[in-house]
Amino acid sequence: MRSLIIANWKCNPSTFKEAKILFNSLKKRLKKIRNVEVVICPPFVYLSSSKFQVLSFKLGAQDVFWEERGAFTGEISSKMLKDLGVEYIILGHSERRQILKETDEMINKKIKATLNNKLKSILCIGETEEERKEGKTFEILKNQIEKALSNLQTYKLRNLIIAYEPIWAIGSGKPCQVNEAMTAALFIKKLISHLYNQKIGRSIRILYGGSVNSLNASNYIREAKMDGLLIGGVSLNSKEFVKIIKQLN
């Protein structure tokens, strides 16, 4: 299967002009990529530009609301995103959990809404530095997965992807050891097999995210056998980001 590389632009860049420059540079450099599935997740406001609808990569959003329409000031629904050509949604990112106080229950509702709309949902999970030191990593991952997937029918998991993103590794320049990422991925697969069935456990795609760069990216894919990567900071640097894609192509 092709590696799945997600660019999470977060709340960047701050003008449409800069977003277009970054986007055009990616478009030019990613033309001949065949063996990597690239997904660009810009801020909502840039998603609707026709400039962003190209063949060389897919579009993703960084969040979504669980209702389809109605009196929910400031929110954006799965249907609206799907209508724009968005195929992937990042859900439960630790920045949303910590800064915006998003709960597991909210994430569960969001996952149900995106999967009902046949969008590919990327559930982010991961432990804090403190939890890791206390040896609670697996307990945290289990709890986050069980709550996020609560009451979700088996057949809907086809479009679910899980990103292991240790919080201490995000934007810190301290990436997770390759063998630690691999152990976490195996744990997640086993848990999904236990909660659903072995076939789903084996086929569910697991990504790694947290201080990925062009020096460590291929280790996660080739050594840790991750199915892809979720890249924040480096995805804003088109040269570095494309370097990663080319290594994996």
Our CB check for ligand PGA shows the closer of 80 and 102 to be 102
List, in sequence order, every beta strand (DSSP E) within the chain.
3-8, 36-41, 58-61, 88-91, 120-125, 160-164, 205-209, 228-231
Residue written as token pair 């998003």:
102
Contact status: 226 vs ligand PGA (CB under 6 A)? no
Q: Which of 37, 95, 127, 165 is catalytic?
A: 165
Tell me if 210 is assigned to a ligand binding site: no
The rounded distance, in Å, linking the Cα atoms of 188 and 205 is 10
Phi, psi of 198 (to 5 degrees): -65, -35
Tell me if 211 is assigned to a ligand binding site: yes
Our CB check for ligand PGA shows the closer of 181 and 230 to be 230
Pick the stretch among 46-54, 110-118, 195-203, 207-215 that binds ligand PGA (CB under 6 A): 207-215
Our CB check for ligand PGA shows the closer of 75 and 240 to be 240
Our CB check for ligand PGA shows the closer of 111 and 212 to be 212
The rounded distance, in Å, linking the Cα atoms of 228 and 4 is 4
DSSP element (H, E) containing 82: helix 78-83
Pick the stretch among 13-21, 54-62, 112-120, 206-214 that binds ligand PGA (CB under 6 A): 206-214
Contact status: 232 vs ligand PGA (CB under 6 A)? yes
Query: 165 catalytic, yes or no?
Result: yes
The rounded distance, in Å, linking the Cα atoms of 219 and 96 is 28
Query: 93 catalytic, yes or no?
Result: yes
User: How is residue 96 written in tokens?
Assistant: 């949303």
Contact status: 170 vs ligand PGA (CB under 6 A)? yes
Report the amino acid identity of residue 167.
Answer: I
Tell me if 10 is assigned to a ligand binding site: yes
Catalytic residues: 93, 165
